[in-house]
Structure formats: C-alpha cells, structure tokens
Amino acid sequence: MQAKPGLAKYVVEQLAFLGRISSRPIFGGVGVFIEERLLGVIIDGRVYLHTGPGNLQDYLARGMSQFKPYPNAFDLTTDHHQVPEDVLEDPERLREWGARALTAAIDAARDKKLAGIARSRRMKQAKKKQ
C-alpha cells in the first residue's frame, strides 16, 4: 500500500487552514495531522478522514468504506472513512468535510480522556474500599 505523493500534497494544502498541519508515514500511507492529532490517512489513492457522531452518517449514506489499517485483521478498524471522490475534487467541500473531521477527532479525544478520568476515579474508589 502506498499513497500518491500529489494527492497527499493536495489534501495537506486544502486542509492547512485548520491549524498546524503535518504529514508523515503511517500504515504504509501518509497520515495527515492537525496539531499532532490524526485527521486522516491517504493510502492507495484514497483519502480517509476522521468520523464521529456529527459526520459519520454522511459517509455511510454514500456507502463509503471504513479504513482498516490491517485488512487481514478480523475486527481492527479505525474511526476514519473514505472521502467520496466528488468531495475530493471540490476544494471547498473538502475543506468543509475536513473541518467536520477535525471536530470529530477533537470530540473523540475528549471522550477518551473523560473515560480515562472516570476509570481512574473508579480505581481509586475501589482501592479505598479495600
């Protein structure tokens, strides 16, 4: 699996307005990061952006596939879905979808952090009861 260099450059240029953007190799493709947060993956000529409750239905309604970094792994998936070709070809729409992907990534990180805090509190309470 590889990413097309021109596609990665195009996506980075279009999404640069979202913040400090960078790209680096990931899963045999190119990862696109905003403020060190993984926003998307470009691999095999496809772009996958982060999805969550606020944007997932847009991808599912169009039958877009979920990114599987290791295709042979039975249940290993990510919260990234393939961006439709017509969205990729329209810079304005790509920026809109990118902004919504960033919101989904931020929300997911917040939820994960809150879950970790709650788990930590439960563990402390359990230790106190012992």
Q: Which residues of 53-78 are buried (b: 16+ CB within 10 A; e: fewer)?
A: eebbebbeeeebeebbbeeeeeeeee
Distances (CA, A) of 100 to 50, 51, 70, 126: 8, 8, 25, 39
- pLDDT at position 2, please? 42
pLDDT of residue 98: 97
Could you give the CA distance from residue 30 to residue 117 in angstroms, rounded to a whole number?
Answer: 32
One-letter amino acid identity for 21?
Answer: I
Which residue segments constitute the domains of the chain, with CATH numbers given? 5-104 (3.30.1460.30)
pLDDT at residue 4, rounded to an integer? 57
Enumerate residue ranges in the chain where pLDDT < 50: 1-2
What pLDDT score does 118 carry?
Answer: 55
46 within 8 A of 39, measured Cβ to Cβ: no
Residue 88: predicted pLDDT: 95
Residue that the structure tokens 């990534």 belong to: 105
**Rounded Cα distance, 49 and 81, in Å:** 6
The structure tokens listed for 71 are 């295709």
What is residue 108's predicted lDDT score, i.e. its pLDDT?
87
